[in-house]
């Protein structure tokens, strides 16, 4: 439904002609006439179409039902693999589902979530996590895998999961600011040295940076 609303204004629907007092071309606004089990929306949207055409739709997925949601309706799926083989199986399941809503030519980006505790060596990272667990009174656990090691070891793991088919990663610092600083100070340069992390962000939209095409309005005429 929300994608229909984003499409309900064609890209050139806004006229903004002060001389004639016309703000929009009403012929380029469209009723979406959505009717669901719990609500209905006639449309069109109360705001013009976004610069990206449609904003990014993301979903956190932990199992087959949510993998289907990612495959059929999302632009990004955040998943929580336990290892490279699990990542490969998740990606295969998502890629095996059909796209919905006229989006068959698009491919959802699948990002792996990972909690990270970083140190100068593997022992120091593990010891720091243990000290934090002792202070909390319980062992830290997460829906995502928990990594404790060096930035170089983490880079190895990320590359392994990338080869398994993941499009990218969402790293969750185990402790702030220490692990956030280590990600930016140590991990990012290590990934750049390996040629697998950008050195700058190009102008443009988030959709464009993710390699996703700008969708045309489904209601626009040729």
Task: Please check whether residues 23 and 72 belong to one and the same domain.
Answer: no
Number of domains in the chain: 2
For residue 109, give every residue at least 6 positions away whose Cβ sits within 8 Å of its Cβ, in sequence order, or none.
75, 76, 77, 167, 168, 210, 211, 212
**What's the whole-number mean pLDDT along residues 118-128?**
96
Its domain, for residue 12, covers: 2-41
Task: Please check whether residues 65 and 6 belong to one and the same domain.
Answer: no
**Residue recorded with tokens 């199986």:** 89
Task: Please check whether residues 81 and 157 belong to one and the same domain.
Answer: yes
Task: Please check whether residues 97 and 34 belong to one and the same domain.
Answer: no
Task: Please check whether residues 121 and 17 belong to one and the same domain.
Answer: no
Task: Please check whether residues 181 and 85 belong to one and the same domain.
Answer: yes
* In-domain check, residue 49: no
* In-domain check, residue 207: no
Task: Please check whether residues 34 and 128 belong to one and the same domain.
Answer: no
In this prediction, residue 98 has a pLDDT band, given cuts at 50, 70 and 90, of: confident
CATH number reported for the structural domain that contains residue 68 in this entry: 3.20.20.30
pLDDT of residue 156: 97
* In-domain check, residue 151: yes
Q: How far is 191 from 184, CA to CA, in rounded Å?
A: 10
pLDDT of residue 146: 97
Task: Please check whether residues 69 and 175 belong to one and the same domain.
Answer: yes
Task: Please check whether residues 72 and 155 belong to one and the same domain.
Answer: yes
Q: Residues 67-82: pLDDT tens digits?
A: 999 999 899 999 999 9
* In-domain check, residue 206: no
Identify the H or E element spanning 136: helix 122-136
Task: Please check whether residues 67 and 28 belong to one and the same domain.
Answer: no
Residue 65 has pLDDT above 70, yes or no: yes
- For the entire predicted model, the pTM comes to 0.86
Task: Please check whether residues 82 and 20 belong to one and the same domain.
Answer: no
In this prediction, residue 107 has a pLDDT band, given cuts at 50, 70 and 90, of: confident
* In-domain check, residue 222: no
Residue 99 has pLDDT above 90, yes or no: no
Strand ranges, E, within the chain: 14-17, 22-24, 34-35, 40-41, 58-61, 76-79, 109-118, 145-149, 168-173
């Amino acid at each position: 439904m929300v994608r229909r609303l984003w499409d309900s204004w064609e890209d050139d629907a806004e006229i903004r002609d002060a001389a004639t007092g016309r703000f929009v071309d009403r012929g380029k606004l469209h009723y979406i006439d959505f009717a669901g089990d719990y609500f209905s929306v006639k449309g069109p949207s109360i705001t013009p179409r976004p610069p990206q055409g449609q904003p990014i739709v993301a979903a956190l997925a932990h199992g087959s039902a949510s993998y289907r949601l990612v495959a059929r309706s999302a632009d990004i799926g955040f998943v929580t693999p336990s290892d490279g083989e699990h990542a490969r199986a998740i990606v295969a399941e998502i890629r095996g589902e059909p796209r919905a809503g006229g989006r068959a030519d698009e491919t959802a980006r699948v990002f792996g979530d990972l909690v990270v505790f970083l140190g100068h060596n593997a022992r120091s990272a593990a010891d720091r996590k243990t000290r934090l667990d002792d202070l909390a009174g319980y062992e830290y656990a997460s829906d995502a895998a928990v990594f404790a090691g060096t930035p170089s070891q983490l880079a190895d793991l990320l590359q392994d999961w990338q080869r398994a088919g993941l499009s990218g990663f969402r790293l969750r610092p185990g402790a702030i600011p220490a692990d956030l600083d280590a990600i930016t100070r140590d991990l990012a340069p290590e990934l750049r040295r390996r040629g697998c992390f950008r050195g700058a962000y190009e102008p443009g939209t988030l959709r464009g940076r993710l390699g996703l095409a700008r969708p045309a309005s489904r209601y626009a005429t040729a």
